[in-house]
């Protein structure tokens, strides 16, 4: 059921921490996986790393904020391999003032953040779904977050340079519910839409933050990128053929208590 042989997958932000893990997971289970990233050089390096392991992987230059770039990238995939079966929206563009306190965020900055992330996910989802529509099948996966479901516990950030921007909560909450809309809209076309909402992923954060974060989980650790990759393989494959409009929370029990 988890076999992805013969399928074609695109992972936006595929050169990033979580995106790369998901790209490797999809390729490991047989998909020809395209690592799509605005940084073409980094995407090519990542694709070479996976190809050296015997996996089918290619690099794809794409700017998720530019609909022409999205369309061009999809056309390139279709011309090279003839189909598109799985699309993962994992890119995470951030503005220069991403960590500003809410009361200091300008209106222009807020609009740019929402447009750069949520609008881009919506445009990517539409273009990918339209490419899948003629074949009446496909799986599109959006990356949400636990902070699109619950409010942040700001106490875990105290004494560190880390924070949780207000725009992030708005964006991720919007992505989660828009995924449900798309699942309903494209159901007749055989295209499934789902979300993965990760908890905090370990990435060399401040030790005091990690200690406080771990205390709030049930499994006693932060997430690893591979934890998110497993969820992506499930939602991309026939193992989840009866799953659509779902938000799969991968947070070690953070939101369970």
Per residue in 205-238, pLDDT (tens digit) is 999 999 999 999 999 999 999 999 999 999 999 9
- pLDDT (average), residues 14-23: 97
Specify if 213 maps to a domain.
Answer: yes
Q: How confident is the model at residue 4 (pLDDT cuts 50, 70, 90)?
A: very high
Residue 197, domain extent:
8-256
Is the pLDDT assigned to residue 171 strictly greater than 90? yes
Q: Tell me how many domains the chain contains.
A: 1
Q: How far apart are CA 46 and CA 35, in angstroms?
A: 8
Q: How far apart are CA 59 and CA 175, in angstroms?
A: 26
- pLDDT (average), residues 60-67: 96
Sign of CA dihedral 80, 82, 85, 91: positive
Alpha carbon dihedral 13, 15, 19, 22, in 10-degree steps, equals: 140
Distance of CA 214 to the CA centre of its chain: 23
Specify if 87 maps to a domain.
Answer: yes
Specify if 3 maps to a domain.
Answer: no
Find the CATH number of the domain harbouring 97. Answer: 3.40.50.720
Active site residues: 168
- pLDDT (average), residues 16-22: 97
Is the pLDDT assigned to residue 8 strictly greater than 90? yes
pLDDT digits (tens, 9 = 90+) for 86-118: 999 999 998 888 889 999 999 999 999 999 999
Other Cβ atoms within 10 Å of 121 Cβ, number: 25
Give percent of the chain with pLDDT exceeding 70: 100
**12 to each of 64, 104, 109, 153, how far by Cα in Å?**
8, 30, 23, 29
Specify if 1 maps to a domain.
Answer: no
Is the pLDDT assigned to residue 196 strictly greater than 90? yes
pLDDT digits (tens, 9 = 90+) for 116-168: 999 999 999 999 999 999 999 999 999 999 999 999 999 999 999 999 999 99
- Sheet containing 138-143: give its strands across: 57-61, 32-37, 8-12, 86-89, 138-143, 191-198, 247-250
- Overall pTM surpassing 0.75 (yes/no): yes
């Amino acid at each position: 059921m988890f076999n992805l042989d013969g399928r074609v997958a695109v992972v936006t932000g595929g050169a990033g921490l979580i995106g790369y893990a998901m790209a490797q997971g999809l390729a490991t289970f047989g998909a020809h996986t395209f690592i799509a990233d605005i940084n073409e050089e980094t995407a090519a390096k990542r694709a070479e790393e996976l190809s050296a392991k015997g996996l089918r992987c290619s690099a794809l230059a794409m700017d998720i904020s530019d609909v022409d770039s999205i369309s061009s990238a999809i056309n390139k995939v279709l011309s090279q391999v003839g189909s598109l079966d799985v699309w993962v929206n994992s890119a995470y563009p951030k503005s220069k003032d991403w960590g500003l306190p809410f009361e200091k965020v300008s209106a222009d900055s807020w609009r740019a953040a929402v447009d750069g992330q949520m609008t881009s996910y919506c445009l990517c989802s539409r273009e990918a779904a339209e490419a899948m529509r003629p074949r009446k099948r496909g799986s599109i996966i959006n990356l949400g977050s636990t902070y699109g479901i619950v409010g942040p516990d700001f106490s875990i950030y105290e004494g560190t340079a880390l924070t949780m921007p207000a725009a992030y909560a708005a964006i991720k909450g919007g992505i989660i519910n828009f995924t449900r809309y798309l699942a309903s809209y494209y159901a007749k076309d055989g295209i499934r839409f789902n979300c993965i909402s990760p908890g905090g992923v370990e990435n060399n954060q401040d030790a005091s933050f990690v200690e406080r974060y771990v205390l709030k989980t049930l499994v006693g650790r932060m997430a690893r990128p591979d934890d998110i990759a497993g969820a992506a393989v499930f939602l991309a494959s026939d193992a989840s053929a009866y799953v659509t409009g779902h938000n799969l929370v991968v947070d070690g029990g953070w939101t369970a208590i």
